[in-house]
Amino acid sequence: MRHRHTAVLVGVLGALVSGGCAPEEDIPSGETGGAVSLGGRGTGGTGASTGAGASAGGQAAGGSAGSPGCGKTSQTGAFQASMTSFGLTRGYYLSVPSTYDPNVPQRLVFGYHGSNYSGVRMRTYLDYEKAPLVDGSIFVYPDGLPLDGQPDNIAWDLSANGRDLAFFDDLLAKLMSEYCIDPNRILVGGQSFGGLMTNEVGCLRGNVVRAIVVVAGSGPRASTCQGQVAVWITHGEDDTSVPFARGEASRDRWVAANHCTTTTVVGDPTQCLDYQGCDPGYPVIWCPHVGDSGHQVPSFGRPAYRAFFAQY
């Protein structure tokens, strides 16, 4: 399955975003199950929205052009790195398998951490880097910063014009310039506050992101989304940190956005429900659970979301 918006992603390489500090953010309240409006430009950082015309090199199987990093020799292995974005020094943990071929466009998989965690710790927690997902993939785990007015809460600014959407844009542009990335296979996932951030990136950067995985999150908060993403969500009915109703509201937003019906069939694994009638290539998979890890990844979660991401 291929993404509809390759040309837009090329524009990510055009500009870096700068600006002041973002307003205080916390786990938001009041998400509703209303329909998402699709199309148009978001109000976030210019990186993914300007469409500046950088050329992409390389060619993926199936005809997708690779990024300008194709053909370059870049560092492999797992390591901490940093960059400047939004006038701030931002950290991230990058994992590039030893089998990486700079002439073959790869998936790029983002993993967003929850409050007071870090990218390197989230790498272990999410456990993306196993079969079948590890083959042909590069993984990046961004580090959050303390929220304004909440110095003890390292998390994500969810605002459309804030530092963390800008960081997504700039980090994506940097990695596409350094590595051979398939612009049709940008995947984003996260848990807890990282799930909130994943929903927001999926909405505001749906013109460049292909699929999202949300564990115990909520949102998106934005009323208008760009593009479209495939969606896999899990949420515990006994989650005491992010209420189950917020997970249901997220599900309903994506069901509406992908034009699914309310009919479901039992999926694989059987804890999951596959919504029917969704736009081709843009499924919504809903995996509720109870008595199975609460706010955390459920027992079936890791192999299931690795298999989901590996389709793309």
pLDDT per position as a tens digit, 105-120: 999 999 999 999 999 9
Average pLDDT over residues 66-81: 97
Residue range 200-213: average pLDDT?
98
Is 300 in a helix, a strand, or coil?
coil
pLDDT level of residue 149 (50, 70, 90 thresholds): very high
Of residues 256 and 2, more confidently modeled: 256
Contact indicator for 273, 266 with CB cutoff of 8 Å: yes
Q: Which structure tokens are listed for 298?
A: 């459920």
b (16+ CB within 10 A) / e for 161-175: bbbbbbbbbbbbbbb
Mean pLDDT, rounded, of the chain:
85
Q: Report the candidate in 234, 286, 239, 230 with the shortest Cα–Cα distance to residue 259.
A: 230
Whole-number pLDDT of residue 65: 80
Cα distances (Å, whole numbers) of residue 250 to 59, 109, 110, 207: 35, 21, 20, 19
Model confidence at 64, in pLDDT bands (50, 70, 90)?
Answer: low
- Domains observed in the chain: 6-12+58-310 (3.40.50.1820)
The span from the CA of 53 to the CA of 18, in Å, is 20
Q: pLDDT tens digits, residue range 273-303?
A: 999 999 999 999 999 999 999 999 999 999 9
d(CA 51, CA 221): 24
What gap in Å lies between CA 125 and CA 193, rounded to an integer?
Answer: 14
Predicted local confidence at residue 264, as pLDDT? 98
Is residue 77 packed enough to be buried (19+ CB in 10 Å), middle (13-18) or exposed (0-12)?
A: exposed
- Give 152-190 pLDDT, tens digit per residue: 999 999 999 999 999 999 999 999 999 999 999 999 999
Q: What are the backbone angles phi and psi of residue 237, rounded to the nearest 5°?
A: -65, -25
| Angle ∠(311,302,206) on CA atoms, nearest 5 | 50
Mean pLDDT of 15-33: 33
Q: Is a pLDDT exceeding 60 seen at residue 29?
A: no
pLDDT value at 5 more than 60: no
Alpha-carbon gap, residue 221 to 306, rounded angstroms: 26
What pLDDT digit, counting tens, does each position of 117-127 carry?
999 999 999 99
Q: Find out whether the peptide bond into 132 is cis, omega within 30 degrees of 0.
A: yes
* Length of the chain, in residues: 312
* Helix pair 163-178, 193-204: axis angle to 10 deg: 70
Output the CA torsion 120→126→129→134 (10° steps). -130
16 — pLDDT class (breaks 50, 70, 90) = very low
